[in-house]
A and B are shown apart, each in its own frame.
Chain A
Amino acid sequence: MSIVVDLRDAVVVFNGFPALAEASIEVQRGEIVLLQGPNGAGKTTLLRACAGLLPIVRGEASVLGVDLCVDRQSVRPRVGLLGHANGLFADLTIRENVLFWAQMVGASEAEVVSTLQRFGIDGRLAEQKVMQLSAGQKRRCALACLVVRRAELWLLDEPHAGLDASARDEIDAIIREACAAGATVLIASHELERARGLATRSVSVIAGRVVS
């Protein structure tokens, strides 16, 4: 088993505030790790730091074998971050959105079609503009983008927020499937009951630190 995320005493500063305060966490390939903790504890910052978006001020951090203190760029194509925003183009259809990301990595159109099918957003639904979709459909579309991008590490920030029960089940199924296909997943969630059933392990993020 290889280590995908390895943070040691990592400090990340956000607007002068140590949002991550000497946090340490180790995640193995294929794990689904749940990050739980109160608002403002640093869950989102932890995910964004793993995506190579935020500079590591002190400590060590490596993701997918890339040292983030030295290089925060080269890890990005292999990581998928789904934050509070879905990152979709509202005027484009589901198919066009997914196709855009497929083009970016050279994935084939067939791959797009099969992904849309598996996610249940194919057929007539795929030709709908994103702005006309429900929250759950948008979230599925965003996850489909991560799949065609072949992200190896999924960083999901509150993926269940704002969805109804059946949409949440669908999201869970997608995450399990991705994990089975070899992806590693970090989820920040308030839906503890649901997320615990999904996760292989859960840790608490408290005041900028990771507590097992």
Chain B
Amino acid sequence: MEAQTFTARVATPTTRLVGAMALVSMAWVVIGGLFVTPRDVDQGDAVRIMYVHVPTAWVAYLAFIVTAVASACWLLSRKHSMGFDRVAGASAEVGVVFMAMTLLSGSLWGRITWGSYWAWDPRLTTTAFLLVTYIGYLAVRGLGGSLEQRARRSAVIALLAVLEIPLVHFSVLMWRSLHQKASVLSGDGDIKMDGSMLTTLLVGVIGFTLTFTWLVLHRQRVLAMQDAMQMTQLDAALRERANESENKSVIESSRLK
């Protein structure tokens, strides 16, 4: 039997372009964030965390929206195309990483400006719950079973998460508003943004979004190749079993006689 070789190539001109643009904009953010933009009057250099924190938060939320939309598309589409499921999975994986980065950069920033790593602020709390929820989602994707069942189960879980998040957010919001205002937030000095800061932040959002797009495109293609490889392996396994079955039935029939 001839050996089957795969050329694993997930890059296309489009992803190369996206990747190049992501690199350029990230370089811009690094230079702009660290050197061009001014220090903040109150926060000093700590304000530079913003150029990472805000874009990662944006990307994480974007990723979970993509997961939810792709899951809904899978459930609603008549063909149940596996492409939707792969995009949902890839996006959630990237989203979890970015959300962890958001929480990490946020708590470091909080430590410097508020004096504490954590505040029971509705937005923070919801974000933390979001992270755990999507870690759970990824665990559900790993439960096994057929591809179709994985897709159906995880799509349902993704949509339940969409229901859950507003409930969590709303109840935390109500919880905090009925109690004292989080004291660390009361000294919430608005950062005065000048032109270079705003531009850098905007480029950061664009750069991180491009990075996200690049990652998801590649990841879902790798997933597609994994699925395709399963099918090719299935062909090989079927041929093997066919041979096995012929050999064995000859033996069996001779044994019976």
Contact = CB atoms under 8 A, between A and B. Distances in A.
A–B in direct contact per CB < 8 Å: yes
Interface of A: 11, 13, 15-18, 21-22, 38, 54-55, 57, 204, 206-209, 211
Given A18-B234, A18-B238, A57-B234, A13 B146 contact: yes
Most buried by A among B149, B241, B249: B241
A167 B245 CA distance: 34
B123 interface: no
Given A16-B233, A206-B249, A55 B241 contact: no
12 contacts: A11-B238, A16-B233, A17-B237, A18-B234, A54-B146, A57-B234, A204-B249, A206-B244, A206-B248, A207-B248, A209-B242, A211-B245
A22 B242 contact: yes
A125 to B, nearest CB: 39
Main secondary structure of the interface of B (DSSP, over half): helix
B61 to A, nearest CB: 35
Interface residues of B, number: 16
Contacts of B146: 13, 54-55
Contact of A211 (B144, B148, B241, B249): B249
Given A13-B146, A16-B230, A55-B146, A207 B237 contact: no
Contacts of A22: 238, 242
Interface in B209-257: 230, 233-234, 237-238, 241-242, 244-245, 248-249, 252
A204 B251 CA distance: 12
B237 A18 contact: yes
A21 B252 contact: no
A207 to B, nearest CB: 4
A21 B242 contact: yes
Interface of B: 144, 146, 148-149, 230, 233-234, 237-238, 241-242, 244-245, 248-249, 252
Main secondary structure of the interface of A (DSSP, over half): strand
A22 B241 CA distance: 10
Given A16-B233, A55-B146, A55-B148, A21 B248 contact: no
Contacts of A15: 144
A208 B244 CA distance: 9
A207 B148 contact: no
Most buried by B among A13, A16, A207, A209: A207
A57 B149 CA distance: 13
Contacts of B248: 38, 206-207
A208 B241 contact: yes
Contacts of A204: 249, 252
Nearest to A13: B234
B241 A21 contact: yes
Contacts of A13: 146, 234
A113 B245 CA distance: 47
A57 B244 CA distance: 20
A193 B13 CA distance: 66
A18 B241 contact: yes
B148 A209 contact: no
